[in-house]
Amino acid sequence: MKIRCIAIDDEPLAVKKIAGYIQKVPFLELVAECRSAAEAMSVMDTTDIQLLFIDINMPDISGMEFVKSLTSKPYVVFTTAYSEYAVEGFQVDAADYLLKPITFSNFLKAANKVKNLIDLSSNNQKESLKTTANHLFVKSEYKLIRIELDDIKYIESQHEYIKIHLANSTPVLTQLSMKSIEEQLPSDRFMRVHRSFIVNLAKISVIERNRIVFDGKVYIPVSDQYKEKFQEYIDGNFG
């Protein structure tokens, strides 16, 4: 499975260089080359991105400010010509920091570091999630909690955690990725409709302007990436 990446830099030559490096690494997949944070956010609204290679010094909003603004953060490797940003970069949990001019060998070291972090996280999550046909067990606050699949309304991504919203009890927060729990849930009962949301199809009763409404106050958007599949389900079950 390849790591989905975006290269972000307002300098055309710089973004092309990073994009070229990404394409040379077998376990990386270049999703987009972006010249601004706004352009990157547009991509991230429709595609589940796992890794950003982002320049710190950009107009309008800096790479640092952009990363701080994200509620659901992918792994981040900052790129910049200024070494004084290194400490601040690691304060926002950046996986690595590349000083320009960036050589391919240094880029590859950073890419391998992220791959190792993802592999380690994946292994830990497999130990934290046990599923059966009707329920799952997740670790939360040092406890192992049983959750009936029928009780789940929707699942929300929160950076390195997910929040499992339940029909008749308080939500459960656990350190899992959306990808890991999506792979364990039955696809005929649960559907990912946005990079940040998975819904229990049996709990859907109201759809308004391409949004799923829960309890009259929670509006879950259906992003373009998942719209066609969701529409097929609606046509087959709500027609």
| Per-residue pLDDT reduced to its tens digit, 116-135 | 888 776 665 555 566 667 88
Mean predicted lDDT score pLDDT of the chain: 86
* pLDDT value for 164: 92
Long-range contacts of 38-43 (CB under 8 A, 24+ apart): 39/8, 40/6, 40/8, 40/66, 41/66, 43/6
pTM: 0.63
What architecture is domain 3-125?
A: 3-Layer(aba) Sandwich (3.40)
**Rounded average pLDDT over 103-125:** 85
**CA-CA distance, 157 to 198, in Å (whole number)?**
9
* pLDDT value for 4: 92
Count other Cβ atoms within 10 Å, centred on residue 175: 17
- Weakest-pLDDT range from 1-15, 35-49, 111-125, 147-161: 111-125
- Binned at pLDDT 50, 70 and 90, residue 197 comes out as very high
* pLDDT value for 84: 66
Domain boundaries, the chain: 3-125, 132-237
* pLDDT value for 71: 72
Same fold, 3-125 and 132-237: no
What's the CATH number of domain 132-237, 2.40.50.1020, 2.40.30.10, 3.40.50.1000, 3.30.450.30? 2.40.50.1020
* pLDDT value for 85: 60
